[in-house]
Amino acid sequence: MSAAGHPRDVVIVGASLAGLRAAETLRAEGFTGNLTLVGAERHAPYDRPPLSKRFLTGQPPAADTALPVPDGLRARWRLGQAAVRLDPYSRIVTLADGTGLPYDGLLIATGAAARSGAAPGEPGPEQGVFTLRGRDDATALRAALTPGRKLLVVGAGFLGGEV
């Protein structure tokens, strides 16, 4: 912590829309310390709704789903590295590669996770069972959607209804 009691190092676990907006807000409110965004996905922040719309019909995902990152954000990005451990007493977030990130302030903005119900030995993408949460999920599902192939959607929520 700084002498005035304000955090110098803030880690945001979750590098999608919520994490990006939190980082933008911190900077807009005058935070000048070190800012690190951690994301399990290897992709820079992107908009998820198009994944269940145009993307599944074959349109490329990159240009129309990327979220703009403002100039001057001055953030360190740790993409493709899931946070796997939190030690609140030592104030360290540990990443999947074993890297420890010390923090004065921590924000967890991971959102929801799709649950397939698949357990070891149960069907997965190799057997045609998919979840739709992120860009990689949408890419795998799009590749499997071939003319004449039957599709069963489990889940009648917002995404399931769109698919």
Q: Which of 93, 92, 75 is nearest to 35 (CA)?
A: 75
CATH number of the domain that residue 40 is part of: 3.50.50.60
Flag whether 65 is in a domain: yes
Q: Which domain holds residue 78?
A: 9-114
Flag whether 26 is in a domain: yes
Flag whether 155 is in a domain: no
d(CA 103, CA 87): 10
Position 88 confidence tier, pLDDT thresholds 50, 70, 90: very high
Flag whether 147 is in a domain: no
Flag whether 154 is in a domain: no
What tokens were used for 49? 């709704």
Position 83 confidence tier, pLDDT thresholds 50, 70, 90: very high
Residue with more model confidence, 85 or 125? 85
Is residue 5's pLDDT more than 70? no
What tokens were used for 60? 């490329």
**Domain count for the chain:** 1
Q: Read off the pLDDT of residues 124-146 as tens digits, 9 standing for 90 and up.
A: 777 778 877 778 888 888 888 88
d(CA 128, CA 85): 32
Average pLDDT over residues 69-80: 93
What tokens were used for 123? 């069907």
Flag whether 125 is in a domain: no
Flag whether 159 is in a domain: no
Residue with more model confidence, 56 or 44? 44
